[in-house]
Amino acid sequence: MTSPAASLTSSQNINGIIIPVGLLIFGTVIVKKEWAPFAAILGLVLGAFRYLTGLPKKFLKPDVFQDLELKEKTILSHNTAIYRFNLPTPTSILGLPIGQHISIGAACPQPDGSTKEIVRSYTPISGDHQPGYIDLLIKSYPTGNISKHMASLTVGQTIKVKGPKGAFVYTPNMVRHFGMVAGGTGITPMLQIIRAVIRGRPTGDKTQIDLIFANVSPQDILLKEDLDALAAEDSGFRVHYVLDKPPEGWTGGVGYVTADMVTKLLPKPADDVKLLMCGPPPMVSGLKKAAESLGFKKARPVSKLEDQVFAF
């Protein structure tokens, strides 16, 4: 998102606000000079009104589910897709702080034939700097209520969302170095933060990031092209891939993410370092214990923003 100061000097606002207000004042000076102060006040009021009404509108409400319509579905694999949903207007933004997530609710059929309202949390891979839509990366599981529901959607159908939710909110330079471990679709909150850090480089964000991304096989590595492009673009971000079933000639990590991998690839424990993790519960549980054995502060069952080890 651009700052208010930057958006005020955008070509749209120069043409739509600043020039008309200037012409109003200039014209008044020519016609009746003593009315110029009143014209200036009127121009400022009208300009401020037009500017404020032109600011992006935040969509999310924390306590109310609202409908979003599916605009586009991009298939990545047999069970994974990116779902793009329209926001109400082309200038609307979701209104989601970096590091937080949304709730998706749907009436899902159950094995006994009944229908049950199910709610699950997801992190968009798009951000508020991209008005008009949101993108969700979702992998469908045979036992997943919401993920199966999402896979069944066709363009034009809707989902219900509310938010923001979550204890983590990213702010520039909140730490010197992030160590991240993601498994599968656990990459989504990490990608959100990584992109925010890199977007903030021009304004002074110096945060270093090392990411371990664990998957079963090369075909399971979601958004690899995006991650590799970000690493190539920004020397402060490094990605390390780990596979449970690597192909012949694989040069990355092999097996589960271990304490040795964390020691080798991620930053050492320090007051200005945070370890972020997101993935299958067994992976996260094992990593919490490994992190504590390496000198990181013990992770709480439910993470808080101030924690050194934070699990999404």
Which helix (H) or strand (E) element contains residue 152? helix 145-152
CA nearest 209: which of 127, 137, 187, 155?
Answer: 187
- What does the alpha-carbon distance between residue 239 and residue 214 come to, in Å, rounded to a whole number? 11
Sign of the C-alpha dihedral, residues 89, 90, 96, 101? positive
Tell me if residue 154 is catalytic. Answer: no
Kindly give the interhelix angle for 224-233 and 187-199, rounded to the nearest 10 degrees: 30
**Pair 168, 97: CB distance under 8 Å:** no
Residue tagged active-site, from 28, 80, 83, 122: 122
- Is 99 strand, coil or helix? coil
**Pair 240, 210: CB distance under 8 Å:** yes
Tell me if residue 170 is catalytic. Answer: no
Asked if residue 147 belongs to a known ligand binding site, the reply is: yes
Residue tagged active-site, from 101, 149, 177, 240: 101
Asked if residue 152 belongs to a known ligand binding site, the reply is: no
Residue tagged active-site, from 123, 149, 170, 241: 123
- What does the alpha-carbon distance between residue 136 and residue 153 come to, in Å, rounded to a whole number? 13
Tell me if residue 240 is catalytic. Answer: no
Sign of the C-alpha dihedral, residues 50, 55, 61, 67? positive
**Residue 305 gets which letter from DSSP?**
T
Asked if residue 33 belongs to a known ligand binding site, the reply is: no
Cβ-defined contacts of 299-305 (< 8 Å, 24+): 302/167, 303/167, 303/168, 304/167, 305/167, 305/168, 305/169
- What does the alpha-carbon distance between residue 65 and residue 293 come to, in Å, rounded to a whole number? 42
Tell me if residue 278 is catalytic. Answer: yes
Asked if residue 137 belongs to a known ligand binding site, the reply is: yes
Report the binding-site residues for FAD.
Answer: 120, 122, 137, 139, 146-147, 188
Q: Which residues are catalytic?
A: 101, 122-123, 278
Report the binding-site residues.
Answer: 120, 122, 137, 139, 146-147, 188
